[in-house]
Chains A and B, each alone.
Chain A
């Protein structure tokens, strides 16, 4: 189309100028040729103008399409960036979550161990107290004296030491039946 327009406009210029310059106006058939060539030149120039206008409209539409495509691509890229960012965030959260779960599980298991150990210690202490109480009552029934029982059960000899005083307090409590 562009080539056709160039050819038509060139033809219009040639048909306009060549007969006017090259032919004589006083000769009859020269004048007729001039008229015909001028008419043909007008037709060629108008056709070239129409083709040029058509091409200009097409190029304008093409430019609008290019702008629209560019805007679409930019929008798509922006959307993909947003989605990939959100996806990365989700992946990071997914990576972090098992670690958090593990930490919680470890914390819970540690807490359980402490609790179990405390319970076990308490049970052991109660067992020891019961054994002591039985042993004390047994020795008392045999007729053993207080100092001898304390020495047998707690391993503390009579005197003014704090250990003996504590052992004596516990002995008195066991004898009274307080546990």
Chain B
């Protein structure tokens, strides 16, 4: 059951990233805003990998859980934007 709800949240993330791509396709300014958002997210994501020990202590989760979340975020963005761009 836990795997099912995690899968549902994963799908929700994928659809949300597709929605971001759709918003980016509406207007050049929206594209820039989404690009800025993705760039900021990329910086945060990389910083989280670098600061994983202190961040796991701050969030009170294990390092494995934090790494799993970071990999999931990357997979969500890749799958969602990939589906939008390839369709």
Contacts and interface: CB of A to CB of B under 8 A. Distances in A.
Given A16-B14, A49-B9, A55 B87 contact: no
A142 to B, nearest CB: 127
Contacts of A41: 15
Given A16-B83, A20-B83, A39 B19 contact: yes
A31 B25 CA distance: 10
A56 B22 contact: no
Interface stretch (A5-13, A97-105, A119-127, A148-156): A5-13
Query: Helix, strand, loop or mixed for chain B's interface?
Result: helix
Contacts of B25: 25, 31
A35 B19 contact: yes
A12 B8 CA distance: 9
Contacts of A59: 1
Category for how many chain A residues contact B: 20 to 34
Interface string A16-49: 1100110001000001001100110110011011
B58 interface: no
B37 interface: no
Nearest to B80: A16
Nearest to B14: A16
B18 A13 contact: no
Contacts of A55: 1, 5
Contacts of A39: 19
Given A45-B12, A55-B5, A56-B5, A20 B19 contact: no
Given A5-B4, A5-B8, 15 more contacts: A9-B7, A12-B11, A12-B15, A13-B11, A15-B15, A16-B18, A20-B87, A31-B26, A35-B22, A39-B19, A46-B12, A48-B11, A49-B6, A50-B5, A52-B4
